[in-house]
Amino acid sequence: MAKYAMVVDLHRCQGCRACVEACKIENNTGEGMFWMHVFRFEEGSYPDTRMSFLPRPCQHCDNAPCVKVCPTGARFKRDDGIVLTDAERCIGCRYCELACPYGVNYFNWQDPEDSQYAEMIDWTDPDIQQATGGAVPPYRNPDLEELWGSEQRRTGGGGHAKGVMEKCTFCVQRVEKGGQPACVDTCPVNALLFGDVDDPDTPISRFMRENETWRLLEETGTEPRVRYVGGKPPSQSYTEVERPKARV
Amino acid sequence: MATEVATPRTKDLPQRVGRFTTGWKLFTVAGLVVLAFAIFAYVRELGSGMIATGMRNVGTMGGATWGLYITMVVYFVGVSFAGITVAALIRIFELGKLRPIARTAELLTVVALILGAIAIIVDLGQPIRGIVNLFRYARPQSPFFGTFALVIAGYLFASLVYLYLGGRRDAAAMAHYPSRLRGFYRWWAAGYMDTPEEQARHRRTSFWLAVAIVPLLVIAHSTLGFVFGLQVGRPGWYGTLQAPAFVALAGVSGVGLIIVLGAIVKRIVGDTERVSVDVFSWLGKFLLGLLLVYLYFMTVELLTLLYATPAVEKQLSDALLFGPYAWTYWGSVALLAVPALVLIWQAVTRRWNIGWLVASGVAVNLAAIGKRYLIVVPSQTHGTLLPYEVGSYSPSWIEYGVVLGLFALGALMIGLFVKIFPPLPLSDEEVMADA
């Protein structure tokens, strides 16, 4: 049985946020939703300041607080370690979001169609039509609509429905086909590693053996499946800078 | 026609039951207007999605994902505590002089629980699916399960049974009066004849139901506290004090509201003797006891926060005590402390004044809403463990509208009940008068 995990190499991360972009394109997430978010932190005061970056996908915890509190079992953990949301069972109580110490859950406050960035552009504009050849986004990835895994539940892409919760799925629709999450594939400096840690010969297993890793908010006992190499855990003295526009 | 004969006699029903006065009609119309506005607001919310509320995601979106609705769920379920507690205590300890207030207390519990249940449903992103899936896929491991299964289902059902059983004798007596509501009273009485045998069985049933219901309600209110207290990922929530403090504040707000409602019922019925100052003084002492317990919990919590605070907790406590939530916090504290002093003064001088008691009841309820709000919201905007920027939350007019509508619905339910059923247990004269 494969056991998936992710390693984030903070020695390499340059805070370019290409992973954030890749995630948005792959999963077609709405405005203000950042399943993958990269913190840009500033520490100290001028002129002695230091910048650091911290990619924050869902941690896919082994002791996931969101799974524990879900009143209907819409949030569940698969045997391979991926934590998913069943978009057709979720009732939108948002308890998972409050139980999660990482802040990775995003609720569909409105119809996902209305929260698309594409809504902001006039697609009938002749200049734009010239560039797009008349195609009107959002691009629909048919894989997001399918049922995945032994559970055969509607989990890919979070489901995108008004009034339900969604979050990072480790791109279950790509992993099921033997691929890698979009953020991992995109990273220009290979700061993200994803794979099966049950198999000792995978690149991620080797990397974890050779490097010392730490996990985010270890003290909360959530047992995350995302590990970090290099850098240090963020403290409350960090200030977040260059936040994306996130309030919808 | 038979009804024409019966209608004038309806005015003769005891405790002004069936007398729909102009004042009552105005009150009902006002309530319906507010309710209609709330329904309009909720339909707007359903149509556009919850973007119409002031709630947003915690973290990058910088909001609070639970807001005024959950505050009101916690408040209403809290209020329900006292009604059934008082009613059960009356049975268990045979507090005869308090019996007149028992039905009012039971009524308050039933109404508050219905409002709490509605408040949960309006907070769901998928309300219809919620009603189905909460039962279909119920998971007892979720603290939310306790709120639904124990509080809304078990507790509401038990309270309804209590209200029903407690009213059978009076329903049987009321059925002897000629009125349009006779069929309703016969249905409620369900063959009850008030024979000594039936009375004994009735007393036995009520007693054991009361014995069973007291642990149920402590568990129910504790699970509501667990919804927050078990969450290690939210500073300000995680703690063992959460469950007992919930029970204590539930008692404070509930007893406070019984005092208010008792005074209103006294006015409606025009009865000065049965709901005497004695009843109110007992409720006042009960309120004072619970208030002191809660103030103790609050002080302990405050000292812990101020003495040795982890960094994240400090950010939260600063926001509470000196930051954007300071007005709500200190306002609530004042609305708890001042009534406590007023009650202590009345207890010491042994001069109980219903006006002051009602004012205290209103004050502690405002404080309870404030404290519930402070439990729910600040831990989301100022309590993220990762260094997200602090967030903010202010309810939209839709949320205010729906909450006002809930209060209106509650008032309408109580207003209707006191006009179709005697709010006080019938006195012997009122029972005799049927001949």
Residue B3, pLDDT > 60, answer no
Q: How do residues B125-184 score in pLDDT, each as one tens digit?
A: 999 999 899 889 989 889 888 777 777 778 888 889 889 988 998 999 888 888 888 899
Q: Which of A28-32, B273-277, B294-298 has the highest mean pLDDT?
A: B294-298
pLDDT for the residue A138: 60
pLDDT score recorded for residue B6 = 42
Contact in structure between B139 and A66 (CB atoms under 8 Å):
no
| pTM score, whole prediction | 0.92
B111 pLDDT band, cuts 50/70/90, is very high
Q: Is the pLDDT of residue A174 over 90?
A: yes
Average pLDDT value for chain A: 90
What percent of chain B lies above the pLDDT cut of 90? 53
Q: What is the pLDDT of residue B225?
A: 87
Q: Do B56 and A74 touch (CB under 8 A)?
A: no
Which ranges of B137-240 does DSSP label H, i.e. alpha helix? 143-145, 156-174, 182-189, 196-229
Q: Nearest C-alpha of chain A: how many angstroms from B140?
A: 8
Which residues on A lie below 8 Å from B385 (Cβ)? 101-102, 217, 220
Q: What DSSP string describes A159-217?
A: ---TT-EE---S-HHHHTTT---HHHHH-TT--EEEEESSSTTSHHHHHHHHS-EE-TT
Higher pLDDT, A221 or B435: A221
Find chain B residues with C-beta within 8 A of A163's C-beta.
49-50, 124-126
pLDDT score of B249: 93
Query: SS3 sequence, B23-49?
Result: HHHHHHHHHHHHHHHHHHHHHHHHHHC
Smallest Cα distance from A37 to chain B, Å: 8
Q: What local confidence, expressed as pLDDT, does residue B187 receive?
A: 92
Q: Is the CB of B56 less than 8 angstroms away from the CB of A248?
A: yes
Q: Kindly identify which residue of chain B lies nearest to residue A39, measuring between CA atoms.
A: B388
pLDDT per position as a tens digit, A2-42: 999 999 999 999 999 999 999 998 998 888 999 999 999 99
Residues pairing with A8 in the sheet: A192, A228
Q: How far is CA B199 from the centre of its chain?
A: 30
What distance in Å separates the CA atoms of residue B111 and residue B263, rounded to the nearest whole number? 17
pLDDT of residue B301: 87
The predicted model gives B228-241 an average pLDDT of: 87
Tell me the mean pLDDT in the region B200-223: 85
pLDDT for B392 equals 93
Per-residue confidence (pLDDT) for residue A190, from 0 to 100: 95
Q: Quick one: pLDDT band at residue B1, thresholds 50, 70, 90?
A: very low
**CB distance A247–B134 less than 8 Å?**
no
* pLDDT for the residue B435: 45
CB B281 within 8 A of CB B379: no
Is residue B212 very low, low, confident or very high in pLDDT (cuts 50, 70, 90)? confident
Between B99 and B151, residue with greater pLDDT: B99
pLDDT in the model for residue B8 = 42
- Quick one: pLDDT at residue A158? 65
Task: Give the pLDDT of residue A119.
Answer: 67
Whole-number Cα distances in Å, A179 to A80, A171, A176, B72: 15, 9, 7, 47
- Higher-confidence residue of B12 and B179: namely B179
Residues B218-239: what's their mean pLDDT?
A: 86
Averaged pLDDT for residues B253-276: 87
Q: What is the DSSP letter of B61?
A: T
Q: Is the preceding omega at residue B339 within 30 degrees of 0, hence cis?
A: no
pLDDT of residue B4: 43
Structure confidence by residue, pLDDT tens digits, B338-372: 999 999 999 999 999 999 999 999 999 999 999 99
Work out the pLDDT band at B252, boundaries 50, 70, 90. very high
Whole-angstrom distance, CA of residue B54 vs CA of residue B63: 8
Q: Identify the CA nearest to A106 among candidates A34, A154, A56.
A: A34
Residue with tokens 């539930």: B250
Q: What is the mean pLDDT of residues A49-73?
A: 95
**Mean per-residue pLDDT over chain B, rounded:** 89
> Across the interface, do B139 and A70 touch by the CB < 8 Å criterion?
yes
Contact B423, B265 (CB under 8 A): yes
Which amino acid, residue A187?
C
Rounded (10°) angle between helices B182-189 and B156-174: 120
DSSP B361: H
Determine which of A149-153, B10-14, B46-50, B76-80 has the lowest per-residue pLDDT on average: B10-14
pLDDT at B215 over 90: no
pLDDT value of position A191: 96
pLDDT of residue A113: 80
Distance (Å, whole) CA B73 – CA B48: 23
pLDDT of residue A56: 96
CB A162 within 8 A of CB B125: yes
Q: How far is residue A70's CA from residue A92's CA, in Å, rounded to a whole number?
A: 10
Q: Looking at residue A137, what is its pLDDT?
A: 64
Classify residue B214 by burial, with Cβ atoms within 10 Å: 0-12, 13-18, 19+: middle
Residues A169/A58/B379/B233 CA torsion (nearest 10 deg): 110
Interacting residues of A107 by C-beta distance below 8 A, sequence separation 6+: A92, A94, A97, A163, A164, A165, A166, B50, B57, B65, B125
CB contact B384 to A (< 8 Å): yes
Q: Residue A122: what pLDDT?
A: 80
State whether residue B133 sits within 8 Å of chain A by CB.
yes
Find the helix or strand (DSSP H, E) in which A56 lies: strand A50-56
CB B34, CB B405: distance < 8 Å: yes
- Burial tier of B198 (Cβ tally within 10 Å: 0-12, 13-18, 19+): middle
SS (H, E, C) B96-136: HHHHHHHHHHHHHHHHHHHHHHHHHHHHCCCHHHHHHHHHH
- Asked whether the beta carbons of residue B130 and residue A93 sit closer than 8 angstroms, the reply is yes
Higher pLDDT: B148 or B434? It is: B148
Considering only residues B302 and A59, tell me which one the structure prediction assigns the higher pLDDT: A59
Query: Quick one: pLDDT at residue B321?
Result: 92
Residues of B in contact with A240 (CB under 8 A): 387-389
